[in-house]
Amino acid sequence: MMKPAISCLSVLLICLGAASVHAAQETQDPALRQRAADALARLAPLPLAKGSLPQPLVEINRESADRRWVIGSATQPLPTMTGVDADQVPLSRLFLARQTDQGWQLALEGEDSFAALLEAAPDDWLSADERRAWRSQTVRAKRLAPDATGLGLPWQEGAAWSMTGGPHGYSGESQPYDSIDFAGGDGRVLAPQAGVIYKSCLRNGSGLVKLVHDNGYSSTYYHMINLNTVADGQRVAKGAYLGKTGNGLPCGGSTTGPHVHFSLIHQGKAEPVNRKWLGGWQFFSGSRAYQGYAARDGGRVNVGGRLTHYRGGGDPAPTPGGASGIATPRGASGIATPRGGDGYVNLRGGPSLSAEIVGSAARGEQVPLQCHARGEAVDGVWGRTDIWNRTAAGHWISDGFIDTGSNAPVVPQCPSSARPW
């Protein structure tokens, strides 16, 4: 599930059967603009009085060849504010829309109707990467390890950056506190996990950037400059360049110095970063916006301190023998996550759903993992994957049915002698 897609870029029409929209373009359709603006207005309280705000910006990010299907973005621009001791960013969400004889059907990411539109979309329009990423956003099953995100930090592994602003909302004190500010190092903002990219509000090399990951999470980035040139709807690999920290305000707001405003979304809803694990650190909100701290291994870093991004998938590297495969919120976990509501998941004699059932693990049970191998591809809770984990007892369980905090392997590859097939 982690393989980067080949970028179609200039041949997007051939690769995806879509109209040639390579960067978000403001829609000229007044009906579509109104539907998207109304949906955005219902989403959350606006940071300023509605009458003082510019009109919402409604853009087309991707459209089908017949122009009847659209993935777009609705953004509420803010006045550009200087001398404000806060980090304010515009509220923005992606949407999926279909034009019918009765008009536009439109759903914002996170709305129940988004899933129905996704499944009705033409097969030759959305890529497999897009469908997999978006389907993970529509799953409503409760996660068993709610603090794990499977994401690293948005810079090079092993490097240290400063946390310039602790957990806060898109307009500072707005709730939830879904955002953190980072700066430092070489300034290169990198994808904390693979994901499908979309850009909105592009102005002078800056813009709003979103990555839709395939584990239910999305991440967004603001204030960056010198953005990459990857076309909307393409999958970028973990560690791919997104842009550089800056003071970009392409849709208004404010900034207190060059940095990246990182935000977390889960299944279309703003997700509090309190207690979430990112890159080996667990983040905690303070009593006010921009306060809080990050912790790991009994240590604590306050706002202004430096955070070293763990190597190896953003979490402590596993050691041979499976010691780090024990369930922990840090990410190298083996918490059984049954598909559906059965309350258990089967353990197999080999890395395949057709292999003999040799045991089971109850929902929430900690399963020590020893090594991994590639086997039958499975559509699991966390998306499609061919990763299978061998337990300390010698049984096999698909990575799609356990929460390891990552879509990548978290234990070493199994030696050939450990493979029974």
Give all domains of the chain, ordered by start, each with its CATH number: 9-138 (no CATH), 160-308 (2.70.70.10), 323-418 (2.30.30.40)
- Tell whether the model's pLDDT for residue 323 goes beyond 60: no
Least confident of 42-56, 69-83, 249-263: 42-56
Q: 10: pLDDT confidence band, cut at 50, 70 and 90?
A: very low
Strand locations in 204-259, DSSP E?
206-212, 217-222, 235-236, 241-244
Q: Rounded CA gap, 212 and 96, in Å?
A: 14
Q: Rounded CA gap, 142 and 337, in Å?
A: 10
Q: 21: pLDDT confidence band, cut at 50, 70 and 90?
A: very low
Over residues 139-187, the pLDDT tens digits come to 765 554 668 898 999 999 999 999 999 999 987 778 899 999 999 999 9
- Tell whether the model's pLDDT for residue 6 goes beyond 70: no
pLDDT of residue 13: 29
Q: Rounded CA gap, 226 and 175, in Å?
A: 30
Share of the chain residues as helix, strand and coil, in percent rounded to the nearest 5? 10, 35, 50
- pTM, rounded to two decimals: 0.70
